[in-house]
Structures are given as C-alpha cells and as structure tokens.
Structure 1
Amino acid sequence: MENSSPAEKRYDVSLSFAGEDRPYVELVAGHLRMRGIRVFYDAFEDVELWGKDLIERFAQIYERESELVVVFISEAYKQKAWTTHERRHALSAAIRSRREYILPVRFDATHLDGLSSSVGYIDATKTPASALAERIIRKLASLGIATAQSQENIDSSNTVTIDARSFMDDPAALYELPVSRFKNLSSFLNEIYFLIKTKVTPFRYGESWILRDESAGMVIKNSRMIYGNTWDREEPDTRPLSQAGINAGARLTVESVSHAN
C-alpha cells in the first residue's frame, strides 16, 4: 500500500539521531521550525511524548506520519537501540514509497544495515546546520511536498533578518523570521537563543550576547544566560516586537559581548 497522501502526514520531516550528535541536529531542527517546516524533533515535543509508549509512538512517527526522515549517521547512531528502532520503521516506509524517503546525513563512514552505501548523502562535517536545513527545505519542494511554508506564501515585507554569521562562525547563519509569528519579545528571543545556544556551551554565569539593530544604532537586548535556560529578567518581556523596536524589514545582528564592547 502506498504512503498516505501529504495532507494526512503530521510532519514534513522527522529527524533520527544519536544523543551525541544532538548539538548539530538541534540547530537544524530550530532552523526548520523557524521556516515553518513541521519537523519532528524530540525536544520540541517533550510534553506531547510524556507518558506515552515511545516504542509505539516512534514507530508511528517514523513509518506513517512523516513525509521524509533524515537519518544522522555516526558510530554512536549505529550502537543505539532507539535509533535502530527508528531506522527500521523508516526503512519499512521507504520500501513502500515511490520516491526518496530516507535522507542520510553522515558524521562519519559508519555502515548501517538496510541502508545502501550507494545512496546519496550529505556530509555533516562540511555542511553548516543552517545550510543543511535549507537543503531539506529544497528537497521537500523538489518532491512536490506542500509544506506550511509553501502554502502560506510568506511576505518578505513582514520579516526581520537575523545575522548570526560572525557569532556562530557560520557563513550560512542568516535567518528570516516572520514578525507575526511572535506574540512578544520573549518568544522572539527564545527562538534566537535556541539557534545560538550551542555556541555558548558550556553554560556559565555571565555568558552574554547582544542583539543589535545596526541601521537604527540601538541595542535590542543584552541577554545574559544563566545555566543555559534563564534570562536576566525574572519576568518574561511581554512587549510586542514593535514596542521593543523590532519592525518588519529590520536587519538585526547577534554579537558576543566581547566583540560588542
């Protein structure tokens, strides 16, 4: 039986990876989510997964509820029972699919049973996380898979650009965020923090970054991270983005405090 139609799929893409490779995969997942892609990444759904039979739930996700599955191959991936479970169900769906279903991304040359070495792959060691996310988006489009991004016809005049290239030492770390997606400044900052947090590990008190609007000559936020999950404000900043000085069309730069001073 052929895979169900795109309208019935819950996820545009699901990510299968070992915990050792999470820092890279997390950046990929964050970029996909910011672009409106329905991505299954376990940390995004910790509440939804809480209390469920994960053997059964992961089987559903990787075999029946995803348009594509990206497998992040490494020696650690090969050794894990959970990743083996995910891969087996993805392979089962791939057998029934009439198009590409499993997209390999390699950290090393590890061989996985059931996945031919002749299948085209992307080398994670040579591909920035943001660039990989863009390739996944292009792959979805090339296969004719309608995503929320393609359906909503994003208006570029309603976006702001986040330039984190120098901060992350990643030439592809340019992000466009639709301002209408964020209720307040805190939700906006949380998205940026999610993207850059692997840059500032291990977390230390006083590790800071600055969000600056160069054209307006102003600092939007000097965000101090404590143990990786606490802002310097005790209460969320509930100001709408416009009140915080962030308007559509703005180009914001993320800088480390050491560079900004």
Structure 2
Amino acid sequence: MENASPTGKPYDVSLSFAGEDRPYVELVAGHLKTRGIRVFYDAFEDVELWGKDLTERLAQIYESESELVVIFISDAYKQKAWTTHEKRHALSAALRSRREYILPVRFDDTKLDGLSTSVSYIDARKTPASVLAERLIKKLANLGIHTAGQQANKLAPVDFSNTVTVDARSFMNDPDALYEYSVSRFKNFDDFLKEIYFLIKTKVKPFRYGESWILRDESSRTIIKSSRMIYGNTWGREEPDTRPLRQAGINVGAILTLESVSNIG
C-alpha cells in the first residue's frame, strides 16, 4: 500500500467490528476517510482483499500494519469467528506496544476475553459516529501519528466553510451536544438523516419513529424534518429521499436545531 507512515505501517487505524454493527462503523470510516486518515475498513478494501487468504491477510493488518486498532465491542462481536481472529492479533500487537494500541468502543456491556474491563472506552450508545471519528483523529494527533502527504503531527483541518452545524443541546440535555458535519460527507439527504436518527436514538430508548421531534433551520425557522414528516411505504419502511442537501433546504453554513416537542402543529 502506498504512502505508509514513518513507522512503515500502511494504516493509521484499522476497524474491527461485527457485521451487525456495520451501519454505525460505516459512518465512522467514511468520516475518517474524508479527513485523510488511512483507515482499514473492509468495504474500502474489497478489491485489495479479493482472492487472498483472509486468515493470513487480516492477521497482518491487525497485528503489524496498523498504528491503532479500534474494536467495536458488542455481543455480536464476541460471537463471531472472524472478529475473534482479528482481536487475537490486535492483542498480540498490544502486548508488544509501548503505547495504547487497542481503542475500545462499546455498543453494550459485553466482556471480551483478553481485554481488561479497566481499559478506558467510548460509549457508542451516547456518541454520534462523526464525534467518535473526530475524537479518534485527535488521538492520532496526540500520539504523533500523521496521514500521508501531510506534515508530521498535522491532520487535515475541517473546512468550516463547508459545514453544517446541528445544535442538539436542548434535545440531548447536554451542553456539549453541538456537532459540525462536513457537507461533502453526505451523498444525499438520506445519508444526512442517518446522523440525525442516531442522535434521536441516543435520547429515545427504545427508538420510535413516532417520537415527537423537529429539525429546524435556526435562521429561517424552516422545518427541515420532523417526526410527522416520515411516511412509510407499503412495507412500513420510510421512502428514500435522495435529494441533495441544498434541495432539502440545508445550505452550507446553516445552523440546524434538533428539538423535542410535545405537539407539532
């Protein structure tokens, strides 16, 4: 692989996860890739992996070709043969590393053999994918790991002239729930809504599409989306909305407020 780090490793970070958790991990991987991070995510490497002995190749990636490995812990992760294989080789590398090598992210409270419960982790149940990705980028910077084509210890900055802000502080009852999203990350409105639905799911357990909420443009007070604007097809699933963000009423630089309401008129 081209553009290896100064240590000779081709990946800044590799992601180890169960297929059941792919929707969240895919968002993390996409955000990292957009920011110039050399991330191993299987769907990005389908051609590179094609025809290879995966037992041998994955062992190389998780043990010797990554600066860091993020393990997304869940009950599904514990049950899978492939994730057990990846974890085993990541743990082997961690034993030899002089710094942190495995960064745990939790979807539930599952305990994994070989991974101490005292190791600090991030809770995916409370952390949007984009926020997790940005924290990982900061971790890479703190460890002095840099991406290809950039100066040491510097990572590609977020282009704030190309972002949308979602203010969920009131909705989440969290003073830090203010999120910046790069518009270029989202293929269409549906892609953007995945992040919004995650924020709602974080607050509302169990998640119900009928929960009363509203996403509004703060400057124009235009309603972008609300719980009453979700319409299912004959199978009960929401109809796709593939409009570009601008056509959906979301402009670059906009501040969108996510609010919980008892009655949407």
Query: What interval of TM-score do these two structures reach, taking the shorter chain for normalisation?
Result: 0.5 to 0.7
- CA separation of 1:151/1:242 partners in 2, compared to 1, >3 Å: closer, same or farther? same
Q: Matched residues in 2 for 1:9 and 1:92: separation?
A: 16
Of 206, 212, 218, which residue of structure 1 is paired with 2:216?
A: 212
- Tell me if the contact between 1:12 and 1:68 (Cα under 8 Å) persists in the aligned partners: yes
Q: Which amino acid aligns with 1:59?
A: A
Contiguous gaps of at least 5 residues in structure 2: none
Question: C-alpha displacement at 1:62, in angstroms?
Answer: 1.9
- Tell me if the contact between 2:231 and 2:239 (Cα under 8 Å) persists in the aligned partners: yes
Deviates more, 1:220-229 or 1:243-252: 220-229
- CA separation of 1:52/1:196 partners in 2, compared to 1, >3 Å: closer, same or farther? farther
Which aligned pairs between 1:16-35 and structure 2 lie closer than 5 A? 16-17=16-17, 22=21, 27=24, 30=27, 33-34=30-31
- CA separation of 1:97/1:190 partners in 2, compared to 1, >3 Å: closer, same or farther? same
SS in 2 for 1:62: helix
2:72 equivalent to 1:110: no
Q: Matched residues in 1 for 2:82 and 2:168: separation?
A: 34
Match of 1:179 in 2: 183
Question: C-alpha displacement at 1:207, in angstroms?
Answer: 7.2
2:242 equivalent to 1:236: yes
SS in 2 for 1:129: coil
- Tell me if the contact between 1:209 and 1:255 (Cα under 8 Å) persists in the aligned partners: yes
SS in 1 for 2:230: strand
Which aligned pairs between 1:92-241 and structure 2 lie closer than 5 A? 92-95=92-95, 97-105=97-105, 108=109, 110=111, 112-113=113-114, 115=115, 117=116, 120-122=119-121, 124=123, 128-130=126-128, 132-147=132-147, 151-167=155-171, 172-182=176-186, 184-193=188-197, 210-222=214-226, 224=230, 226=232, 231-232=238-239, 236-237=242-243, 239=244, 241=245
Describe the superposition over 1:99-146 as per-residue Cα deviations: whole angstroms up to 9, x where unpaired.
Answer: 321124565483623x4x497422639x83246555433211111122
Cα RMSD (Å) = 4.6
Question: C-alpha displacement at 1:92, in angstroms?
Answer: 3.3
Question: C-alpha displacement at 1:218, in angstroms?
Answer: 0.4
Deviates more, 1:144-153 or 1:245-254: 144-153
Q: Matched residues in 2 for 1:189 and 1:242: separation?
A: 14
Question: C-alpha displacement at 1:86, in angstroms?
Answer: 0.8
Give the TM-score, by structure 1 length: 0.65
More helix by share: 1
Q: How many residues align?
A: 248
Question: C-alpha displacement at 1:76, in angstroms?
Answer: 6.1
Give the TM-score, by structure 2 length: 0.65
- Tell me if the contact between 2:31 and 2:185 (Cα under 8 Å) persists in the aligned partners: no
